[in-house]
Amino acid sequence: MKKFASVIIAVVILILCFTLSACGNKYVSTYNAMLMVRTNISNKASVSFGSFSGTYVIKLKNNGADAVFIDYEGTLGEGNIKVYYDFNDEKLNLFDIETDGFVDGKTETFTGNKTIYIIIESIGKCSDGSFSFVLEKSEK
């Protein structure tokens, strides 16, 4: 009986470990893509693809107390994509891009040592896209 109780307790602990460790993912990438090239380091990220459908999530990290903004650029050959960002638990529209589109800009200023999420969502299948995002220090 003691052995059975020990096994049950071990199983419950394992289940708790796996479920608690999965709670840190605020957004989840779920996509189908061909010829996708991705880079993602602490303060900059880029993604290029031949075809893409779904949601791709990028995490950028402001590793200091400095105020920063996101400098972004993107092109899309065919399709429709919406790009959002989340800084303080609020998903906000960054830009929309359509067939033969180009976008270049920057966001508001962020402060604090926090993670900034970039969420790329396609509306249907898209092709020939390229996006880059860089955290730049604010001139304040």
pLDDT in tens, 94-128: 999 999 999 999 887 777 767 889 999 999 999 99
The answer to whether residue 120 is domain-embedded is yes
Indicate whether 21 belongs to any domain: no
Contact 120, 126 (CB under 8 A): no
C-alpha to C-alpha distance for 99 and 80, rounded to whole angstroms: 6
The answer to whether residue 6 sits within a structural domain is: no
Report pLDDT digits (tens) over 25-40: 678 888 888 888 888 8
CATH number at residue 93: 2.60.120.260
In a domain? residue 123:
yes
| 7 in a structural domain | no
Buried b (16+ CB within 10 A) or exposed e, 117-129: bbbbebeeebbbb
For residue 8, being part of any structural domain is answered with no
Is 18 part of any domain?
no
Instruction: Specify the number of domains making up the chain.
Output: 1
Domain that holds residue 98: 27-137
